[in-house]
Protein backbone atom coordinates (compact mmCIF):
# COMPACT_ATOMS: atom_id res chain seq x y z
CA UNK A 1 0.00 0.00 0.00
CA UNK A 2 1.29 3.51 -0.78
CA UNK A 3 2.17 5.91 2.04
CA UNK A 4 -0.76 8.11 0.95
CA UNK A 5 -3.22 5.25 1.31
CA UNK A 6 -1.76 4.20 4.64
CA UNK A 7 -2.02 7.79 5.85
CA UNK A 8 -5.67 8.03 4.77
CA UNK A 9 -6.38 4.84 6.67
CA UNK A 10 -4.61 6.14 9.79
CA UNK A 11 -6.66 9.35 9.68
CA UNK A 12 -9.90 7.40 9.13
CA UNK A 13 -9.14 5.22 12.16
CA UNK A 14 -8.32 8.20 14.37
CA UNK A 15 -11.64 9.80 13.35
CA UNK A 16 -13.60 6.64 13.89
CA UNK A 17 -12.47 6.26 17.49
CA UNK A 18 -12.99 9.99 18.11
CA UNK A 19 -9.41 11.07 18.76
CA UNK A 20 -9.64 13.68 16.02
CA UNK A 21 -12.79 15.55 15.03
CA UNK A 22 -12.24 19.04 13.70
CA UNK A 23 -11.79 19.68 9.98
CA UNK A 24 -8.51 21.53 10.62
CA UNK A 25 -6.87 18.66 12.51
CA UNK A 26 -8.10 16.07 9.99
CA UNK A 27 -6.77 18.12 7.07
CA UNK A 28 -3.39 18.63 8.75
CA UNK A 29 -2.97 14.92 9.53
CA UNK A 30 -3.92 14.10 5.95
CA UNK A 31 -1.43 16.59 4.58
CA UNK A 32 1.73 15.96 6.62
CA UNK A 33 3.66 12.80 5.68
CA UNK A 34 4.66 11.12 8.98
CA UNK A 35 7.02 8.74 7.13
CA UNK A 36 9.30 11.68 6.30
CA UNK A 37 9.84 12.24 10.05
CA UNK A 38 10.80 8.70 11.02
CA UNK A 39 14.13 6.95 10.33
CA UNK A 40 14.21 4.80 7.18
CA UNK A 41 14.37 1.61 9.23
CA UNK A 42 10.97 2.44 10.81
CA UNK A 43 9.20 3.73 7.71
CA UNK A 44 7.13 0.62 7.14
CA UNK A 45 5.47 1.37 10.52
CA UNK A 46 5.13 5.12 9.95
CA UNK A 47 1.32 5.00 9.80
CA UNK A 48 0.79 2.57 12.65
CA UNK A 49 -0.73 4.23 15.70
CA UNK A 50 2.35 3.81 17.85
CA UNK A 51 5.35 5.83 19.04
CA UNK A 52 8.52 5.01 17.10
CA UNK A 53 12.21 5.43 17.94
CA UNK A 54 13.86 8.43 16.27
CA UNK A 55 17.38 7.88 17.66
CA UNK A 56 19.18 9.27 20.73
CA UNK A 57 16.78 7.31 22.96
CA UNK A 58 13.84 9.53 21.92
CA UNK A 59 10.52 8.80 20.21
CA UNK A 60 8.03 10.37 17.85
CA UNK A 61 4.68 10.35 19.69
CA UNK A 62 1.87 8.04 18.60
CA UNK A 63 -0.47 9.65 16.05
CA UNK A 64 -3.48 9.44 18.40
CA UNK A 65 -1.60 11.42 21.07
CA UNK A 66 -0.52 14.02 18.52
CA UNK A 67 -4.14 14.25 17.31
CA UNK A 68 -5.53 14.61 20.84
CA UNK A 69 -3.05 17.40 21.57
CA UNK A 70 -3.84 19.20 18.30
CA UNK A 71 -7.57 19.12 19.14
CA UNK A 72 -6.93 20.54 22.64
CA UNK A 73 -4.54 23.24 21.44
CA UNK A 74 -7.38 25.11 19.75
CA UNK A 75 -5.10 26.62 17.10
CA UNK A 76 -6.09 29.58 14.94
CA UNK A 77 -4.57 30.95 11.74
CA UNK A 78 -1.78 33.45 12.33
CA UNK A 79 -0.90 32.32 15.85
CA UNK A 80 2.57 32.37 17.37
CA UNK A 81 3.33 28.97 18.93
CA UNK A 82 6.18 27.54 21.03
CA UNK A 83 6.93 23.82 21.34
CA UNK A 84 9.19 22.20 23.93
CA UNK A 85 10.54 18.86 22.68
CA UNK A 86 10.77 19.22 18.91
CA UNK A 87 12.03 15.64 18.40
CA UNK A 88 11.34 14.53 14.84
CA UNK A 89 9.57 17.80 13.93
CA UNK A 90 6.31 16.00 13.03
CA UNK A 91 4.15 17.72 15.64
CA UNK A 92 5.65 21.09 14.72
CA UNK A 93 4.91 20.52 11.01
CA UNK A 94 1.26 19.78 11.79
CA UNK A 95 0.98 22.93 13.89
CA UNK A 96 2.65 24.92 11.09
CA UNK A 97 0.05 23.61 8.66
CA UNK A 98 -2.76 24.64 11.01
CA UNK A 99 -1.56 28.19 11.81
CA UNK A 100 -1.24 28.94 8.10
CA UNK A 101 1.09 31.22 6.17
CA UNK A 102 0.93 34.04 8.70
CA UNK A 103 1.48 31.76 11.69
CA UNK A 104 4.81 30.83 13.24
CA UNK A 105 6.12 28.01 15.40
CA UNK A 106 9.36 27.91 17.31
CA UNK A 107 10.20 24.32 18.15
CA UNK A 108 12.91 23.78 20.75
CA UNK A 109 14.88 20.56 21.00
CA UNK A 110 17.81 19.86 23.32
CA UNK A 111 19.54 17.29 21.06
CA UNK A 112 21.31 18.94 18.14
CA UNK A 113 21.24 15.94 15.74
CA UNK A 114 17.50 15.55 16.16
CA UNK A 115 16.99 19.26 15.54
CA UNK A 116 19.01 19.02 12.33
CA UNK A 117 16.98 16.05 11.08
CA UNK A 118 13.75 17.81 12.00
CA UNK A 119 14.79 20.88 9.99
CA UNK A 120 15.39 18.72 6.92
CA UNK A 121 12.03 16.94 7.21
CA UNK A 122 10.21 20.24 7.71
CA UNK A 123 11.96 21.66 4.66
CA UNK A 124 10.89 18.62 2.65
CA UNK A 125 7.29 19.46 3.55
CA UNK A 126 7.77 23.02 2.29
CA UNK A 127 7.19 24.52 5.75
CA UNK A 128 10.59 26.04 6.47
CA UNK A 129 9.30 29.61 6.45
CA UNK A 130 6.86 28.94 9.27
CA UNK A 131 9.02 26.80 11.57
CA UNK A 132 12.21 27.64 13.43
CA UNK A 133 13.84 24.64 15.11
CA UNK A 134 16.13 25.89 17.86
CA UNK A 135 18.43 23.99 20.20
CA UNK A 136 18.37 24.43 23.96
CA UNK A 137 16.49 23.80 27.18
CA UNK A 138 12.90 24.53 26.26
CA UNK A 139 11.81 24.62 29.90
CA UNK A 140 13.37 28.09 30.00
CA UNK A 141 11.29 29.13 26.99
CA UNK A 142 12.58 31.33 24.18
CA UNK A 143 12.27 34.92 25.20
CA UNK A 144 13.11 36.28 21.74
CA UNK A 145 9.94 34.89 20.20
CA UNK A 146 7.59 35.63 23.14
CA UNK A 147 4.79 36.23 23.91
CA UNK A 148 3.11 33.10 22.55
CA UNK A 149 -0.56 32.39 21.81
CA UNK A 150 0.00 28.70 22.41
CA UNK A 151 2.71 26.65 24.10
CA UNK A 152 2.86 22.88 24.14
CA UNK A 153 5.32 20.47 25.70
CA UNK A 154 5.89 16.98 24.34
CA UNK A 155 8.03 15.68 27.19
CA UNK A 156 7.02 15.07 30.79
CA UNK A 157 7.75 17.30 33.76
CA UNK A 158 6.66 17.38 37.42
CA UNK A 159 5.39 20.98 37.20
CA UNK A 160 4.72 23.64 34.58
CA UNK A 161 8.03 25.45 33.99
CA UNK A 162 7.39 29.01 35.30
CA UNK A 163 9.25 30.79 32.45
CA UNK A 164 6.74 29.31 30.01
CA UNK A 165 3.81 30.80 31.91
CA UNK A 166 5.58 34.17 31.81
CA UNK A 167 6.03 33.87 28.04
CA UNK A 168 2.38 33.01 27.41
CA UNK A 169 0.05 35.79 26.18
CA UNK A 170 -2.91 36.88 28.24
CA UNK A 171 -5.69 34.48 27.21
CA UNK A 172 -3.09 32.09 25.79
CA UNK A 173 -3.14 28.34 26.34
CA UNK A 174 -0.44 25.90 27.39
CA UNK A 175 -0.74 22.13 27.03
CA UNK A 176 1.60 19.71 28.78
CA UNK A 177 1.92 16.22 30.26
CA UNK A 178 2.42 16.57 34.03
CA UNK A 179 3.15 13.90 36.59
CA UNK A 180 5.85 11.36 37.37
CA UNK A 181 8.67 10.15 35.17
CA UNK A 182 6.62 7.14 34.03
CA UNK A 183 3.00 8.28 33.93
CA UNK A 184 1.40 11.68 33.39
CA UNK A 185 -1.87 13.47 32.87
CA UNK A 186 -2.41 15.82 29.97
CA UNK A 187 -3.05 19.25 31.48
CA UNK A 188 -4.10 22.50 29.85
CA UNK A 189 -3.93 25.93 31.45
CA UNK A 190 -5.35 29.17 30.14
CA UNK A 191 -3.74 32.39 31.36
CA UNK A 192 -6.30 34.74 32.90
CA UNK A 193 -4.50 37.64 34.56
CA UNK A 194 -2.54 36.19 37.46
CA UNK A 195 -4.67 33.06 37.46
CA UNK A 196 -4.35 29.87 35.47
CA UNK A 197 -7.60 28.17 34.49
CA UNK A 198 -6.76 24.50 34.56
CA UNK A 199 -8.31 21.53 32.75
CA UNK A 200 -7.10 17.95 32.96
CA UNK A 201 -7.51 15.32 30.28
CA UNK A 202 -6.57 11.65 30.20
CA UNK A 203 -3.43 9.78 31.20
CA UNK A 204 -0.43 9.70 28.90
CA UNK A 205 3.22 8.62 28.77
CA UNK A 206 5.96 10.89 27.41
CA UNK A 207 9.76 10.80 27.62
CA UNK A 208 11.04 12.96 30.50
CA UNK A 209 11.93 16.62 30.12
CA UNK A 210 15.66 17.03 30.73
CA UNK A 211 16.49 20.51 31.94
CA UNK A 212 16.04 23.14 34.59
CA UNK A 213 12.40 22.25 35.34
CA UNK A 214 12.56 18.54 34.52
CA UNK A 215 13.13 15.56 36.79
CA UNK A 216 16.28 15.65 38.90
N1 LIG B 1 7.08 16.42 19.41
C2 LIG B 1 8.01 15.37 19.09
C3 LIG B 1 8.08 14.36 20.21
C4 LIG B 1 9.49 14.15 20.61
S5 LIG B 1 9.78 13.29 22.12
C6 LIG B 1 7.73 14.76 17.72
O7 LIG B 1 6.74 15.13 17.09
O8 LIG B 1 8.52 13.93 17.27
C9 LIG B 1 10.29 14.60 23.19
C10 LIG B 1 11.55 15.33 22.85
O11 LIG B 1 11.79 16.25 23.92
C12 LIG B 1 12.83 14.52 22.73
O13 LIG B 1 13.35 14.67 21.45
C14 LIG B 1 13.77 15.12 23.78
O15 LIG B 1 15.12 15.21 23.37
C16 LIG B 1 13.17 16.50 23.96
N17 LIG B 1 13.48 17.20 25.22
C18 LIG B 1 13.58 16.70 26.47
N19 LIG B 1 13.84 17.68 27.36
C20 LIG B 1 13.90 18.85 26.64
C21 LIG B 1 14.14 20.22 26.98
N22 LIG B 1 14.37 20.61 28.25
N23 LIG B 1 14.13 21.14 25.99
C24 LIG B 1 13.89 20.77 24.70
N25 LIG B 1 13.67 19.49 24.32
C26 LIG B 1 13.67 18.54 25.27
The finding on whether 177 has its CB within 6 A of some atom of ligand 1 is no
The stretches of 17-127 forming alpha helices (DSSP H) are 23-31, 63-73, 90-99, 112-124
Q: Which helix (H) or strand (E) holds 163?
A: helix 162-166
> What's the pLDDT at 103?
98
Burial zone of 99 (CB within 10 Å; 0-12 exposed, 13-18 middle, 19+ buried):
buried
Is there a domain that residue 138 lies in?
yes
Is there a domain that residue 149 lies in?
yes
Instruction: Specify whether the CB–CB gap between 185 and 178 falls below 8 A.
Output: yes
Give the whole-angstrom CA distance, residue 129 versus residue 153: 22
Confidence of residue 1 (pLDDT cuts 50, 70, 90): confident
Over residues 195-205, the mean pLDDT reads 95
Is there a domain that residue 214 lies in?
no
What is the atom index within ligand 1 of the atom nearest the CA of 114?
A: 13
Instruction: Tell me how far the alpha carbon of residue 146 lies from the centroid of ligand 1, in angstroms.
Output: 20
Is there a domain that residue 30 lies in?
no
Give the pLDDT confidence of 83-114 residue by residue, as tens digits: 999 999 999 999 999 999 999 999 999 999 99
Structural domain count, the chain: 1
Percent of the chain with pLDDT over 70: 100
The finding on whether 60 has its CB within 6 A of some atom of ligand 1 is yes
Query: Could you tell me the maximum CA-CA distance found in the chain, to the nearest angstrom?
Result: 52
Give the pLDDT confidence of 40-84 residue by residue, as tens digits: 999 999 999 999 999 999 999 999 999 999 999 999 999 999 999
Burial zone of 193 (CB within 10 Å; 0-12 exposed, 13-18 middle, 19+ buried):
exposed
Domain that holds residue 200: 65-204
Amino acid sequence: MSYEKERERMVANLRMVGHIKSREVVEAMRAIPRHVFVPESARSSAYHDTPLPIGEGQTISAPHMVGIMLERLDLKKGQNVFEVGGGSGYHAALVAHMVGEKGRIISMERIEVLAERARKAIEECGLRERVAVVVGDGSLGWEKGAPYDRIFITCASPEIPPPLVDQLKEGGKLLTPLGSRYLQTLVQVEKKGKKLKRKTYGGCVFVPLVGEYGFS
